[in-house]
């Protein structure tokens, strides 16, 4: 395994914490990992991104170029990073904040109402990062759910563990539901193709 | 309190703090500055639990003065800063160097000069680390390129500082300081920790600056009955000022000879695929990580490339460069500055191989592709 992941959005969305938790989950899974981050001088509102590389072999260069998996949580981040994805890669879009997605030829785009779920189903918008993390783990299999949940418990502020885990699990479920829909759709396509062929 | 053994996700600055604790750090004084702040934050938590002292000082000059005082009282001491603070600490570094007070000065490099870009990486302080304080003085400068290396190398920084009684500069960069990687923390029993030589004679017989064969004078802890004078003025064996030519000459020459004696024990260099290399990269810090990938990519394309990764920048690892220059046709030196160590490489290569620099100064790290392109040109 060698996956390069970029989590992008605006300052205050908790993307760096999400990156750290993903990286820690990879350590629990016994993998090599590296996490880097970049942010403007503002604490909130500026562009923010975290990059994580998870691999079975030692990792030399820590920065992500063209990524395998991209999360975009703001329109600005989407405009900047959505297209920097490998063919066959994955772009996860928070459709609450992102209205238009540029052409990402060859990559799969999954639109999820990440911030809406945090706001309405978890009840706290600040947990959007954990919903996103759950979705990434669910769709892309970047970490085992056990390792990810352990990392969430260890890294979120004391007293907020259950709230954050709830958000994480809702994100996982959302991803699973989308995966099931996709599987059903594919099955239908195969049936159509088969009947067309006959 | 040593950190728990085993694999953990750690930030570079955190590894610096935890490695320092493992080396026996008991006193930290600093004035927090980006991108070194997490070192102070971490030590503010760790030191009190271990019976040590953490002080946030009023400024950088006070910080380095405080660690010199703490070290004279027998504690392993450290401060941490970035470029603007490193400039201010030069006065104290000179004092510690001349009075042979062990201490570790961490400088997490950011874009400069002056305030520069506080959150962005650079490697512009390499020459300042060597020659930032005035006067003819030796110094050791170590430079890690990964989080795991930060943990291991800061322990060496303390060991060198204590064993040889000299300040050691620990030169990090913003990328290594802020990135997180897996670190396998060794069991505390597996970590070798050095102590400074202490006097074996009575206080009455003690000469604070009389050195034996290893040129390192035993150091008494203040407050233990050994009363002696410490001054930035040129001093004789008693520690009191002197202007006698023979004694002025003797002190500078002993400090220089001590550094030469220490050099083989403080020079850490990794050679990767250098033996049969036609082209060699000489790199340090985060740039060495890009170089490692570039060398691997070059080999995959049939170009015999190798890497000299310097973890000790000063004393400069002449011998490694000289040997590589005998075989290779060119040495490429990528640096996030306008060319600092490239001139040292040129000096050590002494015309045996072509030496080519590669500068990047736009607040982003050098990429593997940039180094690979230069390797293919030379």
Range of the domain at A14: 2-197
- Could you read off the pLDDT tens digit of each residue along chain B, which spans 378 residues? 456 789 999 999 999 999 999 999 999 999 999 999 999 999 999 999 999 999 999 999 999 999 999 999 999 999 999 999 999 999 999 999 999 999 999 999 999 999 999 999 999 999 999 999 999 999 999 999 999 999 999 999 999 999 999 999 999 999 999 999 999 999 989 999 999 999 999 999 999 999 999 999 999 999 999 999 999 999 999 999 999 999 999 999 999 999 999 999 999 999 999 999 999 999 999 999 999 999 999 999 999 999 999 999 999 999 999 999 999 999 999 999 999 999 999 999 999 999 999 999 999 999 999 999 999 999
Inter-chain touch B9–A60, beta carbons under 8 Å: no
What's the confidence (pLDDT) of residue B1? 47
> Which residues of chain B make contact with A63, given a CB cutoff of 8 A?
365, 367
Residues of chain B contacting A, Cβ within 8 Å: 7-9, 118-119, 175, 178-182, 286, 289-290, 292-293, 296, 365, 367-368
From CA B223, how far away is CA B212, in angstroms rounded? 24
> Which residues of chain B make contact with A32, given a CB cutoff of 8 A?
182
Total domain count, chain A:
1
Judge whether A57 is closer than 8 Å to chain B, CB to CB. no
For A88-139, what is each residue's pLDDT tens digit? 999 999 999 999 999 998 999 999 999 999 999 999 999 999 999 999 999 9
Inter-chain touch A20–B292, beta carbons under 8 Å: no
- CATH code of the domain covering residue A171: 3.40.920.10
Inter-chain touch A23–B9, beta carbons under 8 Å: yes
Interface test with B, best of A62, A143, A152 (most B CBs within 10 A): A62
Judge whether A35 is closer than 8 Å to chain B, CB to CB. yes
What's the confidence (pLDDT) of residue A40? 60
**Can you list the domains of chain B with their CATH numbers?**
6-190 (3.40.50.970), 203-266 (no CATH), 270-377 (3.40.50.920)
Judge whether A4 is closer than 8 Å to chain B, CB to CB. no
What's the confidence (pLDDT) of residue A149? 98
Inter-chain touch A41–B119, beta carbons under 8 Å: yes
Inter-chain touch B296–A61, beta carbons under 8 Å: no
ipTM, two decimals, is 0.89
Inter-chain touch A60–B8, beta carbons under 8 Å: no
Inter-chain touch A61–B178, beta carbons under 8 Å: no
> Which residues of chain B make contact with A33, given a CB cutoff of 8 A?
9, 180-182
Inter-chain touch B286–A62, beta carbons under 8 Å: yes
Inter-chain touch A36–B175, beta carbons under 8 Å: yes
Q: How big is chain A by its Cα radius of gyration, in Å?
A: 17
pLDDT (mean) for A26-31? 97
Judge whether A24 is closer than 8 Å to chain B, CB to CB. yes
């Amino acid at each position: 395994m060698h996956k390069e992941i970029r989590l992008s959005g605006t300052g205050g969305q908790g993307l760096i914490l999400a990156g750290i938790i993903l990286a820690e989950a990879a350590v629990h899974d016994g993998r090599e990992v590296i996490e880097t981050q970049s942010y403007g001088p503002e604490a909130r509102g500026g562009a923010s991104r975290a990059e994580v590389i998870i691999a079975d072999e030692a990792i030399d260069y820590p920065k992500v170029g063209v990524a395998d998996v991209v999360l975009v949580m703001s329109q600005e981040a989407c405009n900047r990073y959505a297209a920097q994805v490998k063919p066959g890669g994955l772009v996860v879009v928070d459709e609450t904040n992102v209205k238009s997605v540029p052409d990402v030829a060859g990559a799969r785009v999954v639109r999820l109402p990440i911030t809406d779920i945090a706001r309405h189903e978890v009840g706290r918008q600040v947990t959007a990062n954990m919903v996103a993390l759950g979705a990434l783990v669910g769709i892309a299999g970047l970490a085992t759910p056990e390792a990810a949940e352990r990392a969430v418990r260890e890294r979120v502020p004391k007293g907020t563990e259950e709230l954050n885990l709830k958000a994480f699990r809702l994100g996982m479920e959302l991803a699973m539901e989308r995966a099931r829909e996709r599987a059903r759709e594919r099955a239908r396509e195969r049936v159509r193709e088969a009947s067309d062929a006959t | 309190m040593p950190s728990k053994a085993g694999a953990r996700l750690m930030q570079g600055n955190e590894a610096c703090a935890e490695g320092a604790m493992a080396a026996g750090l008991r006193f930290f004084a600093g004035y927090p500055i980006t991108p070194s702040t997490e070192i102070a934050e971490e030590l503010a938590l760790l030191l009190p639990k271990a019976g040590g002292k953490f002080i946030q000082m009023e400024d950088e000059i006070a910080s380095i003065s405080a660690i010199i005082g703490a070290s004279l009282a027998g504690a392993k001491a450290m401060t941490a800063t970035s470029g603007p603070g490193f400039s201010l600490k030069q006065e104290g570094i000179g004092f510690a160097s001349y009075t042979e007070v062990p201490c570790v000065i961490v400088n997490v490099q950011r874009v400069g000069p002056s305030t520069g870009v506080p959150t962005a990486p650079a490697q512009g302080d390499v020459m300042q680390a060597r020659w930032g304080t005035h006067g003819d003085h030796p110094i050791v400068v170590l430079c890690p390129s990964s989080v795991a290396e930060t943990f291991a190398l800061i322990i060496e920084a303390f060991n060198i500082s204590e064993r040889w009684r000299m300040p050691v500069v620990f030169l990090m960069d913003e990328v290594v300081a802020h990135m997180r990687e897996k670190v396998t923390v060794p069991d505390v029993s597996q970590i070798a920790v050095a102590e400074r030589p202490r006097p074996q004679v009575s206080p009455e017989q003690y000469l604070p600056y009389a050195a034996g064969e290893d040129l390192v004078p035993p150091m008494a802890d203040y407050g233990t009955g050994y009363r002696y004078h410490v001054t930035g003025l040129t001093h004789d064996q008693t520690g009191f000022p002197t202007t006698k030519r023979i004694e002025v000459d003797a002190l500078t020459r002993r400090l220089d000879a001590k550094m030469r004696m220490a050099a083989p024990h403080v020079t850490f260099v990794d050679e990767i695929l250098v033996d049969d290399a036609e082209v060699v990269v000489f790199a340090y810090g985060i740039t060495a990580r890009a170089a490692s990938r570039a060398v691997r990519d070059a080999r995959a394309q049939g170009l015999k490339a190798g890497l000299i990764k310097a973890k000790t920048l000063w004393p400069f690892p002449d011998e490694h460069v000289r040997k590589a220059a005998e075989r290779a046709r060119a040495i490429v030196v990528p640096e996030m500055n306008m060319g600092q160590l490239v001139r040292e490489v040129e000096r050590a290569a002494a015309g045996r191989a072509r030496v080519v620099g590669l500068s990047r100064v736009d607040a982003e790290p050098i990429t593997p592709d940039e180094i690979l392109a230069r390797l293919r040109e030379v």
